[in-house]
Structure 1
Amino acid sequence: MSQKRSIFEEVSHDQKPEVRTGVIDGARRGSRRAVRWWLILLFALVVAMIGVGGWTRLSDSGLSITEWKPIHGALPPMNAADWQSEFEKYQQIPQFTEQNSWMQPSDFKSIYWWEWGHRNLGRLIGMVWALGFFGLWAAGKIPTGWKKRCVLIGALGGLQGAIGWWMVASGLGEGMLSVASYRLATHLGLAFIILGTISWYVLLLGREERDLMQARRVREKKQFGLATGWMHFAFLQILLGALVAGIDAGRSYTDWPTMGGQFFPPYAFDIEPLWRNFLENPGLVQFIHRMSGYLLFAFGTVAFLRGRRSVNRTTRSAFTAAWLAMILQVCLGIAAVMTAAMSHVAITHQLMAVALFVLIIRARFAAAYPVSTSVRG
């Protein structure tokens, strides 16, 4: 039987109770890390998807599969009869009859594999999202308030699959040799929306919620506003680039800084009705993309100069990185024009657009949640 102890009894300094602190915070940090690594994997897959999609477009492979089979289409042709069946379906569409009638089955296989790979990469992304989301949910690893955000990414991915087929279907109709450029722009635009959303979430999960709440109070409003405008402007330029790619406008005028030896391209409004020129006239579409690029560079430079005035080193570095990426992207754009959009230059230009877009988002995040540094630091 234990003895009663006096309330005046001295407690030895050697007998200190065991105190465990930070258990809840540690669990939260673990959950945030798990979701963040899952999103980083999705981010890498989406970047790969944009790259493969760009090469599929450059190689004119996007119409090689003329049916939408979300599940059964995961399997490629397994024998000669299956290959012949797929080839015969391709032979029925205008792209073959009016442009690629020279193709033999061996030629068809080379474009089929690119489109098959593109679609199956999309299936892989969907599977990684589903396994990650439901696995983290079952394990209780999704932090409070993040379930809807994770569902949003999955919903956008599902919508992207539907838009992908909507795009392909536009190229199967009479008189169409490729997909409609505005549908291609919609498809690429949504890919960048998904990429941007994941990027923002990864940045949020990279810091503690408590830290974010404190940083939000000292938001750098001027830099944040300019970075937001820069991000939207870059997104618009990406859409215009998709319109250029959709009609091969990048191969229509290969001189720079002029177009056909003059500032404004000739025959810019030859298509009737007038509005179609803004989507289908190669000279006008490329001209708009060029002018928008110049304006974007000017706006980005203003944002960079304002960002360099931040008192926080992390913010200054983020704006500098985005501005340097923009300079490189301008050089790649000029190179794409002067090489008539050679495949390796064009795909590098597209992937550089990914890097630029993400770096602008990073600069915007740095202004929204500045990392304070001491005067000495």
Structure 2
Amino acid sequence: MTSANPIMREERLTREIDTARRNRRQIRIWLGVVVFALFALVLVGGATRLTESGLSITEWKPIHGVIPPLSDAEWEEEFTLYKQIPQYSQMNSDMTVEGFKTIFWWEWAHRALARSIGVIFALPLAVFWLTGRIERRLKLPLLGILALGGFQGFIGWWMVSSGLVNRTDVSQYRLATHLIIACLIFSACLWILRGLSPHRSDAPPTRYSILVAAGIALMALFQIYLGALVAGLDAGLTYNTWPLMDGALIPGDLFIQSPGWRNLFENPKTVQFVHRCGAYVLLALVMIHMIANLRLAPRSTHARRAVVLACLVVVQASIGIMTLILQVPIVWGVAHQAGALVVLGFAIAHWRGFVGEYPAETRVVRG
């Protein structure tokens, strides 16, 4: 009986480890679906912005708004509400109901997808939580993501409301806030997903490697913020040459508004120039990081990821240049936004790769 106890304990531990691994795999699949849905949501949001559709739904109905107009009378009611805002009177006064339906469906799809992501995240979270499949260390972070997602819904309406009274579009400040929160949710899900994935235990090439990887990820996020300001000001529709801007590497009149800081947020020329400079800084960072990894640890997984990351940034920069030169056609604009998310996502995963997998001793989840 005494000799059997160690065997029974070992078998029980093996079963618990297998269960924990299975639980991790299920959570990775769930978070992978959430990340894909968030990626799609941001792209639909970008298309909504590029088609000037974001103000087509003038009321915030978190529950009732799931159901679109189902009759001609309901379409007329929605169209009448749209006619009351400045965008209609100043930009679309010749629009028909049929034309209105086109912009309405873009905004409705964006809101419907956002609501569906709430369900995709919250319901499995509840199931995993109640069945004891979530490790203790992950509970607060996942609750935080859920809370941030709920807050994002409010931020979305706060953004839309800025364009319903005195403007024909939304505030670039609120647009940038809305996009950055979406990117934070996207990044947080990827961070946890990556931490639950098996890692190779290659040592970082230097003690600063993780700091550089973190800096690249934060710079990619900052570039997205700058891009949102460019979009909010329609700054990409002007100065459509590269590498020169307004005939110079450093154009004039960058700080013509007073106080000077306003130019960084409200002067389309300055905002576009800063976005260009941010791209150069990000490209330089990933190139230096790649070279350092290849020189110090050429066969490591870190070096291979650094090469991929550098290639992604080069591709994204090329898409950005084409988008600018072509004066932001919808397809190229959405592609540029998609590329930004891919770069951000890979940068987050690369950074997480230096941190390593969640420690094995905390994997076992007891019922």
TM-score normalised according to structure 1 size: 0.88
User: 1-side partners of 2:203 and 2:284: how far apart?
Assistant: 30
Deviations, residues 58-112 of structure 1 (Å, cap 9, x unaligned): 0000000011110010000111111111111111111111111111110000000
1:240 paired with 2:231, answer: no
User: 2-side partners of 1:204 and 1:127: how far apart?
Assistant: 23
TM-score normalised according to structure 2 size: 0.90
Q: Is the 8 A contact 1:42 1:125 kept in 2?
A: yes
Q: Is the 8 A contact 1:43 1:198 kept in 2?
A: yes
Deviations, residues 291-349 of structure 1 (Å, cap 9, x unaligned): 11112211221122222223652111111111100010111111111001111111101
Q: What is the match of residue 357 of structure 1?
A: 344
The more displaced of 320-329 and 141-150 is 141-150
Deviations, residues 191-224 of structure 1 (Å, cap 9, x unaligned): 11111111111111113xxx79xx5997953211
Tell me by how many angstroms 1:265 deviates.
3.5
Please provide the CA RMSD for this pair: 2.1
Q: Which residue among 185, 188, 196 is the counterpart of 2:187?
A: 196
Q: Is the 8 A contact 2:176 2:228 kept in 1?
A: yes
Q: Which residue among 34, 46, 49 is the counterpart of 2:26?
A: 34
Query: 1:358 corresponds to which letter in structure 2?
Result: G
Q: Is the 8 A contact 2:205 2:297 kept in 1?
A: no
Tell me by how many angstroms 1:266 deviates.
4.6
Query: 1:323 corresponds to which letter in structure 2?
Result: A
Q: Is the 8 A contact 1:218 1:369 kept in 2?
A: no
User: 2-side partners of 1:240 and 1:144: how far apart?
Assistant: 36
**Following superposition of structure 1 onto structure 2, how do residues 91-130 of structure 1 map, counting pairs within 5 Å?**
91-130=83-122
Q: Is the 8 A contact 2:205 2:293 kept in 1?
A: no
1:187 paired with 2:186, answer: no
Tell me by how many angstroms 1:273 deviates.
4.9
Q: What is the match of residue 317 of structure 2?
A: 330
Q: Is the 8 A contact 1:31 1:143 kept in 2?
A: no
Q: Is the 8 A contact 1:307 1:315 kept in 2?
A: yes
Q: Which residue among 206, 223, 241 is the counterpart of 1:255?
A: 241
Tell me by how many angstroms 1:28 deviates.
0.8
Q: Which residue among 77, 83, 95 is the counterpart of 1:85?
A: 77
Deviations, residues 130-174 of structure 1 (Å, cap 9, x unaligned): 211111122222123222122122111111111111111111121
User: 2-side partners of 1:274 and 1:81: how far apart?
Assistant: 50
Query: 1:354 corresponds to which letter in structure 2?
Result: L
User: 1-side partners of 2:45 and 2:99: how far apart?
Assistant: 19
1:52 paired with 2:44, answer: yes
Q: What is the match of residue 205 of structure 1?
A: 196
The size of the alignment, in residue pairs, is: 349
Tell me by how many angstroms 1:272 deviates.
4.9
Deviations, residues 175-203 of structure 1 (Å, cap 9, x unaligned): x1110001111111111111111111111
1:154 paired with 2:146, answer: yes
SS at match of 1:221: coil
Tell me by how many angstroms 1:24 deviates.
1.1
Flag structure 2 segments of 5+ consecutive residues without an equivalent: 1-6, 358-367
SS at match of 2:263: helix
SS at match of 1:365: helix
The more displaced of 232-241 and 273-282 is 273-282
Q: Which residue among 64, 76, 81 is the counterpart of 1:72?
A: 64
177 and 270 in structure 1: CA distance in 2 versus 1, 3 angstrom threshold: farther
Q: Which residue among 219, 228, 237 is the counterpart of 2:214?
A: 228
Tell me by how many angstroms 1:369 deviates.
2.3
Q: What is the match of residue 125 of structure 2?
A: 133
SS at match of 2:328: coil
1:297 paired with 2:283, answer: yes
Flag structure 1 segments of 5+ consecutive residues without an equivalent: 1-16, 371-377
Q: Is the 8 A contact 1:266 1:283 kept in 2?
A: no
Q: Is the 8 A contact 1:196 1:361 kept in 2?
A: yes
Query: 1:120 corresponds to which letter in structure 2?
Result: A
Tell me by how many angstroms 1:26 deviates.
0.7
Query: 2:99 corresponds to which letter in structure 1?
Result: D
Q: What is the match of residue 13 of structure 1?
A: none
205 and 52 in structure 1: CA distance in 2 versus 1, 3 angstrom threshold: same
Q: What is the match of residue 177 of structure 1?
A: 168
User: 2-side partners of 1:183 and 1:199: how far apart?
Assistant: 24
Tell me by how many angstroms 1:353 deviates.
0.6
Tell me by how many angstroms 1:275 deviates.
3.6
User: 2-side partners of 1:204 and 1:271: how far apart?
Assistant: 46
User: 2-side partners of 1:168 and 1:125: how far apart?
Assistant: 20
Query: 2:333 corresponds to which letter in structure 1?
Result: A
